[in-house]
């Protein structure tokens, strides 16, 4: 199975890879998203350690059951050969209606088929009031004309 664009990355292909990842996560479909990772992919997500697609899928199912109205924006930070670093922000609410913006950085490493074999994520959550939300598009893919993180001052 191949997941273009493939390493080694250029500025153009790294940017494409980041947007494809963002689009996948905004689908909030754990099965679909898990297919972007190697069968034995390793993650550190906050303080949780995850190995393999089954654990990734289970983790994402729990995540999106808890983080309602999830909307994510990713931005390329750096790249080299088969590695990409991104920064991101996403907004979500909990089941009591409280809103949050989560900020983070991820380091990614890909195999030769373009599947992510390593994901290291550091994330912080900030409680926000609904009036401070910046991500208002309908659930799903972020529209192309919607500003990115830098444009929003995030």
| Predicted confidence (pLDDT) per residue in 75-97, tens digit | 999 999 999 999 999 999 999 99
Of all residues in the chain, the percent with pLDDT exceeding 70 is 100
What is the rounded average pLDDT of the residues 62-83?
98
Residue 1 has pLDDT above 90, yes or no: no
Burial class of residue 18 (count of CB atoms within 10 Å of its CB; 0-12, 13-18, 19+): buried
Nearest of 57, 58, 72, 65 to residue 27 by alpha carbon: 72
Q: What's residue 62's pLDDT?
A: 98
Q: What values do phi and psi take at 96, rounded to 5?
A: -90, -5
pLDDT tens, residue by residue, 26-37: 999 999 999 999
Cα separation, 78 vs 151, in Å, equals 18
Domains of the chain plus CATH, in order, are: 11-132 (3.10.450.50)
pTM over 0.75: yes
């Amino acid at each position: 199975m191949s997941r273009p664009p493939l390493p080694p990355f250029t500025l153009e292909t790294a940017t494409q890879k980041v947007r494809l990842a963002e689009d996948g996560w905004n689908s909030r479909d754990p099965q679909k998203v898990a297919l972007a990772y190697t069968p034995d992919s390793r993650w550190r997500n906050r303080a949780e350690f995850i190995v393999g697609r089954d654990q990734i899928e289970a983790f994402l199912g729990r995540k999106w059951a808890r983080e309602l109205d999830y909307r994510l924006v990713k931005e390329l930070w750096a790249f080299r050969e088969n590695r990409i670093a991104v920064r991101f922000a996403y907004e979500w609410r909990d089941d009591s209606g409280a809103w949050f913006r989560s900020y983070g950085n991820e380091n990614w490493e890909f195999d030769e088929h373009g599947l992510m074999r390593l994901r290291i994520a550091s994330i912080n959550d900030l409680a926000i009031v609904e009036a401070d939300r910046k991500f208002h598009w309908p659930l799903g893919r972020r529209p192309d004309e919607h500003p990115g993180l830098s444009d929003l001052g995030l």
